[in-house]
Structures are given as C-alpha cells and as structure tokens.
Amino acid sequence: MQTTVVEPRVQVVVGLLVNRDRNLFVQQRRSGTPCAGQWEFPGGKIEPGEDACSALVRELDEELGIQVQHARKLTTITHDYEHAGVELEVFAIDSYRGIAAGMEGQAFAWLDSETVRQLNVLEAVHVILDHPEVGRMVQLSKSDE
C-alpha cells in the first residue's frame, strides 16, 4: 500500500500597495527562484514563531525598503503550484513610510490592475485581483476623475 505524504502549505504574506493613481505595486521574481521572471505582489514566507503582521512588516522592509504603518487583512487564499502549496495572507497596506523600490534588485512597476492581468503573473495574482475589496481599492470613482 502506498502512502501519500502531504506537505504542509507554505505560509506567505502578501502586501498590496496602491498609489494615488490607483496603480498597484508589482515586482518580478528574480532568477534562481521558483517561477523566476513572473510578476507578483510583494511579500514572503512567514518564519517559524512569527505572526503574519510581523512577517509583512519585515518582508516589505527587506524587499521594498518601506516601513508599514497600517495594514489590514483582506483575505486568505490557498493555492497549489507545481513546486509547493501556499497559504497567502493578503493585506492592504493603508499607510507606510519610505519610497517603495526593488531593494533586492528585482524589477518593479506601478501598474493599473488590467495591465497587471496582462503580465506573466503568478496564478494567485488573478485570484487576489478578483477579490471584491481589491476591486474597490483600484477602481476610480466619479469623484476621483
């Protein structure tokens, strides 16, 4: 009888940054990493003994050079890639200090949600973009035009 070993899902935080033009910050995965060259929202693994909020603050400081001041959890998404199953804790970054940049040498851009959809993105990016709250975050209202 064969036994199937189920690997635990990798716990990951994702931070959504939206600028005044309602564009989203996206970054390209570096070579030498799983899914290299694909675009994603910033974030990373939650370390053992770390809570999601602490991981979010640490990851965005390391990757983007920003200090998160206020974030709110939007949703949790599970997704299976060929290399791993992930559980994504998705946060909206409401305020931060600093100027977001690619601190680890990764390419980055501020893009509208439809342009993000056109990129070669990780599959879970589409799931995140389909979340109703994300739609509200990036949609221009009549008073903003």
C-alpha to C-alpha distance for 33 and 59, rounded to whole angstroms: 16
C-alpha to C-alpha distance for 125 and 19, rounded to whole angstroms: 18
pLDDT of 42: 97
* Spacing of C-alpha 38 from chain mean position: 12
pLDDT of 144: 45
pLDDT of 31: 80
- Asked whether 121 and 44 are in contact (CB, 8 A), the reply is no
pLDDT of 63: 95
The domains located in the chain, with CATH, are 10-140 (3.90.79.10)
pTM of the model: 0.87
Render each residue's pLDDT in the chain as its tens digit; 145 residues. 555 545 788 999 999 999 999 999 999 988 877 777 899 999 999 999 999 999 999 999 999 999 999 999 999 999 888 778 889 999 999 999 999 999 999 999 999 999 999 999 998 999 999 999 988 888 853 334 4
C-alpha to C-alpha distance for 143 and 27, rounded to whole angstroms: 30
